[in-house]
Structures are given as C-alpha cells and as structure tokens.
Copies of this chain bind each other. A is one copy, B any other.
Amino acid sequence: MVAPSVPLTCEACPNFERSLLGACQHAELSLVAGGKLHQAYSKGQVIFQQGSRAVGLYCVYQGKVKISKLSADGKEQIIRLAREGDVLCYRSLMMGQVCTTAATALTDCVVCLIPRPDFFSLLEQNSQFSNSLLRLMARNLGEAEERLLHTAYKPVRERLAEALLLLYQAFQPDTDTPFSIPVSREDLAALTGTTKETASRLLSEFRDEGLVATQGSRITVLSQPRLNQLASMYN
C-alpha cells in the first residue's frame, strides 16, 4: 500500500479537533510529537491482540478499526468501531494491564502510537487531557451499558439495525457524498451478537424492504431514518 504522509505534529493532523488530543496545549503536544510513531495496516491486519501488553495509546489517522473480544470458544463480539481521530487501548493502558480487546483494521489504515510513558506524562501534566479521557470513558461506558440491555432483551432484527447504524456512522465521510460500507456478514454478525447465517438472512429481508442495498460484501444504507425506527421499536 501507498506510504502515508502523517504530519509530524498532532496539531497539523486533520483529525486534531475530533481527537482526544484536541484538548491539549502546544507545549505538551511537542512531547507527543517527539515520541510518536505511526504504522500502516492493510485491511484485516491486527493492530494489537487480546492478551498482549498495552504498549501505548493508538490514534487512528486514517481508516476504520474494529475493537473486539474473543470468547474462549472462538466467538467474536465487536465492542465498538473506531474511525479517524478515535483512540484505542486507553482502557487497558489506564488499568496498567494487558489488552482485554483486540483491534483489527476494517479497511487499510494508518494508526499513530503514543508510547506508554508519554501517555502517562500527558495524563499527569494536563488536566484538560485527563478530563477529556474521563468524558470519553463515561460516554463509552454509557454506550456499553445500553448495548448490554439491548443484547439481553432485544430481538436480533433490531440489534442488526443498530449495528448497521453504527457502521453507517463510522464509515460516513465528512462530505455528504453517498458511500457504501465494506463489511463481511461475519463482522456484521459479530457486531450484532448473532451468527453470519442469521445476519445474512435478515440483511436480505432489509434489502427486500428497501432499507439497504448490497453488492457482495458492500452494504449501502438507503434509509437511515427507517433503520433508526426499526432499531428503537422497543426502546
């Protein structure tokens, strides 16, 4: 794949505003600029593995990423999706632990890495940063609790609609041009908490009902409002 041109400083990054680091001062950012690394991954490649040591804070420069957990019998649950500007691994880092999730590239992507010690320096020196992190974590926790409720009690059909909406948000470009989402039935199932067969069947229903269009493993959302409605029938 083509070598990416990542700016030297985060301030020059197009995702700066959207990112956690948006809250940081110039001074601290130069620290980050000194230490940060970046790496390209092609679609399907693992960024970090469940069970590996958390080496630093990852920040998506380009592309989409899935964060997932594997159960012992090999079933995958996608916990959340990350896009440009989103950070990964902060939880494991905070807990001083091994990664409890894995991150995998959903598209070709480029991810920056702020080494562990620099992350902690930031955390200590910059209360803005720790505040942003606190709010990010609060938001993620709320989303996780919501999904827990839905996974426990909502039928698969509604959860699939939710999953499609999550994908829609993650893949939506900044300009409002039409777009399709490259995602396998298997990943769609892992995001929904079901099997690929059930995901395939229900997606066909959605297609027949005009909610989405499919071309192989590319999905185009045709009606966000109707998916929303479907997803929150119970809600």
A-side residues, CB < 8 A to B, are: 69, 71-73, 75, 77, 79, 91, 94-95, 100-101, 124, 127, 130-131, 133-135, 137-142, 144-154, 193, 234-235
Cross-chain contact of A130 among B79, B127, B147, B234 (Cβ < 8 A): B127
* Residues of chain B with a CB closer than 8 A to A77's CB: 148-149, 152-153
Tell whether, in the assembled complex, residue B72 and residue A141 are in contact, meaning their CB atoms are under 8 Å apart. no
Find the B residue at minimum CB distance from A234: B72
Chain B nearest CB from A56 CB (Å) reads 16
Given contacts A77-B153, A127-B130, A146-B100, contact A71 B235 (CB under 8 A): yes
Q: How far is the CA of A234 from the CA of B69 in the complex (A)?
A: 13
Tell whether, in the assembled complex, residue B138 and residue A71 are in contact, meaning their CB atoms are under 8 Å apart. no
Chain B nearest CB from A73 CB (Å) reads 5
Find the B residue at minimum CB distance from A190: B152
Cross-chain contact of A148 among B72, B91, B135, B148 (Cβ < 8 A): B148
Count the copies. Answer: 2
Chain B nearest CB from A68 CB (Å) reads 9
Of A72, A124, A134, most buried by chain B (CB within 10 Å of CB) is A134
Find the B residue at minimum CB distance from A69: B149
Tell whether, in the assembled complex, residue A153 and residue B193 are in contact, meaning their CB atoms are under 8 Å apart. yes
Cross-chain contact of A138 among B91, B147, B148 (Cβ < 8 A): B91
Chain B nearest CB from A120 CB (Å) reads 11
Find the B residue at minimum CB distance from A152: B193
Q: How far is the CA of A154 from the CA of B152 in the complex (A)?
A: 11
* Residues of chain B with a CB closer than 8 A to A94's CB: 134-135, 138
* Residues of chain B with a CB closer than 8 A to A144's CB: 141, 144-145, 148
Q: How far is the CA of A92 from the CA of B162 in the complex (A)?
A: 23
Q: How far is the CA of A133 from the CA of B145 in the complex (A)?
A: 18
Q: How far is the CA of A131 from the CA of B96 in the complex (A)?
A: 13
Q: How far is the CA of A11 from the CA of B142 in the complex (A)?
A: 31
Cross-chain contact of A95 among B131, B138, B146 (Cβ < 8 A): B138
Of A71, A100, A145, most buried by chain B (CB within 10 Å of CB) is A145
